[in-house]
Amino acid sequence: MKKLFFTLLCFSLFLTAFASNDPKVGDVLSVKTPSTESFKHIDFPRVNILIKRGVVTGYKSVYNNAVIIDQVTTKNNGSTSVTLKKKDGSKFFGFLNAVEANYEKAIDAGELAVLK
């Protein structure tokens, strides 16, 4: 019984060690289509601002783009904020070099996906 308990304990510790989902600088993510009309956890400008600038008519230009984590910041409330840049080096919507996102909430909402 002790061997079984010890084996299960070691197995659970092994799984939690590999299941850590902490973002690191240089990780590659993909921007996915949001479930609502706009992104809630990635700080893209609102659609009306994009239309006024004459850049694009919506967020379609960022769907399925590969982005790289440039900076990771942990806030006082425990949430992790990341700064994202496009992998190809171009700008978001032609004028934004980088955007911020709440990492955990964006992953849970399906706005960001981790690329292997």
Q: What is the pLDDT of residues 91-113, one digit of tens each?
A: 998 888 999 999 999 999 999 99
Q: How far apart are CA 73 and CA 92, in angstroms?
A: 21
Residue 88: inside a domain, yes or no? Answer: yes
Global pTM reads: 0.75
Confidence of residue 83 (pLDDT cuts 50, 70, 90): very high
Domain count along the chain: 1
Residue 104: inside a domain, yes or no? Answer: yes
Q: Is the dihedral of CA 82, 112, 39, 89 positive or negative?
A: positive
Residue 5: inside a domain, yes or no? Answer: no
Return the bridge partners of 21, or none.
Answer: none
Residue 56: inside a domain, yes or no? Answer: yes
Residue 91: inside a domain, yes or no? Answer: yes
Average pLDDT of the segment spanning 18-45: 84
Confidence of residue 59 (pLDDT cuts 50, 70, 90): confident
Confidence of residue 51 (pLDDT cuts 50, 70, 90): confident
Q: How far apart are CA 47 and CA 116, in angstroms?
A: 30
The residue segments making up the domain with residue 75 are: 24-114
- What is the pLDDT at residue 12? 59
Average pLDDT of the segment spanning 37-49: 89
Residue 17: inside a domain, yes or no? Answer: no
Residue 15: inside a domain, yes or no? Answer: no
Distance of alpha carbon 61 from the chain centroid: 17
Distance of alpha carbon 116 from the chain centroid: 14
